[in-house]
Amino acid sequence: MNSNVLIESFAEFARSKNIDRPTMMSILEDVFRTMIRKKYTTDENFDVIINVDQGDLEIWRNREIVDDDSEDIWDFDKIPLAEARKIEADFEVGEEVAEDVKLEDFGRRAVLMARQTLIQRVKDLERDNLYQQYKDMVGEIITGEVYQVWSREALILDKEENELVLPKSEQIPKDRYRKGDTIRAVVHRVDVLNGTPKIILSRAAPAFLERLFELEVPEIYDGLITIKNIVREPGERAKVAVESYDDRIDPVGACVGMKGSRIHAVVRELENENIDVINYTDNLELYIARALSPAKLTSMKINEQTGRVSVFLKPDQVSLAIGRGGANIKLASRLVGMEIDVFRDAGDYEEDIALDEFRDEIEEWILDEFKKIGLDTGRAVLAVSKEDIVRRTELEEETVQDVFRIIRQEFEADEEQTEPTISDDAQ
């Protein structure tokens, strides 16, 4: 392989990877100087001249001519007179010799190794550029094309055909992708595995919802409204606390838009995720009440030392506060940073049964676990999912199932007793 072929092939490869000309020249010179050092120990007295456009390479070895008997003949930048006159017969002591070194002089193995080194250097540079590019983009939205879909992740290509990864855990559960689909996601993080950057995308992160609001709500993008906190159950429900720095702007109204035009665009992107936008406030009681929307509270007790809040509601508001599968109360707890326990107002148990009534069938310590999370009646327990109770208590799933069975049987028995019967006289 001659120098022209080597340089032209490298230049073409580098350009395909969007490597700029100065960087390309620097890599070429560095690789050739490495070859020189391996053969001649040093490259201090060598000039390397490269013309990428024409594929030319010139390597010149510069030495000073000394007398054949001089003690300096072993220096790297000296050449004996006799050896110099083999290059040109009329050379004299003290003159400079510029000797042309051909690429072929380094040997075939060295040239092949140089070619591999050039390719590897470009790939290393490409990986480093990719890492630097996306490291600065964490938290930003990008648009990509679905290239491949597997059970655990999807491979996404950006506009430069870099490979990005969207794991199943970072997808919205309702998302379904096919090759060629265009999707939007946020850059979640950049990992480095064996020196190779791995760009992780997310559509489930709160940052994705935040960026979508910035795109749809100019007041957020301009800084007139700020998003104080976001919590999500991807694809199901989200709560967004917003605050306005301009008293003339209603932050909730601005985020929702005329007839819901702004928030509908966000909801469509998130596969119809139910989004509650609330006004942020430093008043903790009011903040908690807003976080539990759409439920209406009658009162609450806050214990800041334990980080727990007891909220009291009318019976018809309990299910709204808890939400389907406990989603509403879980998100509200995360939004305000405190564990929220729901209780029914005293005196509202006419059609309910207090948990204490089940002491003959359920051990007291189990009942106490339910009470700790605000579930002190039978109907209050049945209004919450088994999974949520297991998560919020020390109870095993099997124990919770037994409690549900006992409570249901009691209610079914009460309903049978209250059903009207036909007397013998009426017959």
Please determine, for residue 407, whether its predicted confidence score (pLDDT) is greater than 60. yes
Q: Render pLDDT for 100-122 as a digit per residue (tens, 0 to 9).
A: 998 888 888 888 888 888 888 88
Q: What is the pLDDT of residue 421?
A: 39
- Whether pLDDT at 351 is above 60: yes
Estimate the crossing angle of helix 261-269 against helix 206-216, to 10 degrees: 140
- pLDDT of 269 reads 93
| Residues 144, 164 contacting (CB under 8 angstroms) | yes
**In 310-343, which positions are buried (b, 16+ CB within 10 angstroms) versus exposed (e)?**
ebbbebebbbbbbbeebbbbbbbbbbbebbbbbb
Report residue 416's pLDDT band, with 50, 70 and 90 as the boundaries: low
- The pLDDT assigned to 1 comes to 57
Considering the chain, what is the average pLDDT of its residues? 88
What pLDDT sits at residue 54? 77
| Residue 129 confidence (pLDDT) above 90 | no
Does residue 313 carry a pLDDT above 60? yes
Residue 426 binned pLDDT confidence (cut-offs 50, 70, 90): very low
Q: Which residues contact 124 (CB under 8 A, 6 or more apart)?
A: 195
Query: Is 275 in contact with 267 (CB distance < 8 Å)?
Result: yes
Distance of alpha carbon 220 from alpha carbon 218, whole angstroms: 5
> Which residue, chain included where needed, has tokens 């209406």?
296
Quick check: helix, strand or coil at residue 19? Answer: coil
C-alpha span between 97 and 61 (Å, rounded): 8
Is residue 296 within 8 A of residue 317, CB to CB? The reply is yes
Tell me, what's the pLDDT at 169? 95
- Total Cβ atoms within 10 A of residue 415: 9
The 10 Å CB-count burial string (b at 16+, else e) for 158-176 is: beeebebbbeeebbbeebe
Of the candidates 164, 251, 153, 162, the residue with the CA atom closest to the CA atom of residue 199? 164
Residue/partner pairs of 12-20 with CB below 8 Å, 24 or more apart: 13/118, 13/119, 13/122, 14/122, 17/122, 17/123, 17/125, 17/126, 18/160, 19/122, 19/125, 19/126
> Which residues, including other chains, have CB under 8 Å from residue 170's CB and lie 6 or more apart?
185, 188, 200, 201, 202, 203, 204, 205
230-326-211 Cα angle (round to 5): 20
What is the pLDDT at residue 182? 95
The answer to whether residue 230 scores a pLDDT higher than 80 is yes
User: Cα(57)–Cα(332) distance, rounded to whole angstroms?
Assistant: 69
Has residue 145 got a pLDDT over 70? yes
Q: List, in order of start, the domains of the chain with CATH numbers.
A: 3-132 (3.30.1480), 142-204 (2.40.50.140)
- Higher-confidence residue of 32 and 351: namely 32
Residue 304, classed as helix, strand or coil, is coil
Confidence of residue 332 (pLDDT cuts 50, 70, 90): very high
Has residue 154 got a pLDDT over 50? Answer: yes
Q: Which pLDDT score, from 0 to 100, does residue 11 have?
A: 81
Q: How far apart are CA 109 and CA 112, in angstroms?
A: 5
Task: Tell me what pLDDT residue 71 has.
Answer: 85
In the predicted model, is pLDDT for residue 424 greater than 50? no
CA 168 to CA 106: how far, in whole Å?
A: 52
Residue type, 138: V
Q: What is the pLDDT of residue 415?
A: 59
pLDDT (tens digit per residue) in 58-97: 899 999 999 988 888 888 899 999 999 998 898 999 999 9
| 349 pLDDT higher than 60 | no
Taking the C-alpha atoms of residue 153 and residue 163, their distance in angstroms, rounded to an integer, is 12
Contacts of 42 (CB under 8 A, 6+ apart): 76
Distances (CA, A) of 139 to 163, 166, 186, 204, 214: 18, 14, 6, 12, 12
Please give the Cα distance from 178 to 154 (Å, whole number): 10
Query: Residue 275 pLDDT more than 90?
Result: yes
Q: Mutual orientation of helices 3-16 and 21-40 as an angle, nearest 10°? A: 140
Q: Is the pLDDT of residue 280 over 80?
A: yes
Using the predicted structure, report yes or no on whether residue 411 has a pLDDT greater than 70: yes
Q: Which of 272-276, 302-306, 375-379 has the lowest mean pLDDT?
A: 375-379
- Between residues 279 and 344, which one has the greater pLDDT? 279
pLDDT band of 21, cuts 50, 70, 90: confident
**Predicted pLDDT at 319:** 84
Q: How far apart are CA 69 and CA 294, in angstroms?
A: 101
Question: Does 414 have pLDDT greater than 70?
Answer: no
237 in Cβ contact with 325 (< 8 Å): no
| Residue, of 421 and 101, whose pLDDT is higher | 101
Long-range contacts (CB closer than 8 Å, 24 or more residues apart) made by 219-223: 219/244, 219/249, 219/251, 219/254, 220/254, 220/255
Distance CA 184, CA 146 (A): 10
Each residue's pLDDT tens digit, 194-217:
888 999 999 999 999 999 999 999
Residue 417 pLDDT? 55
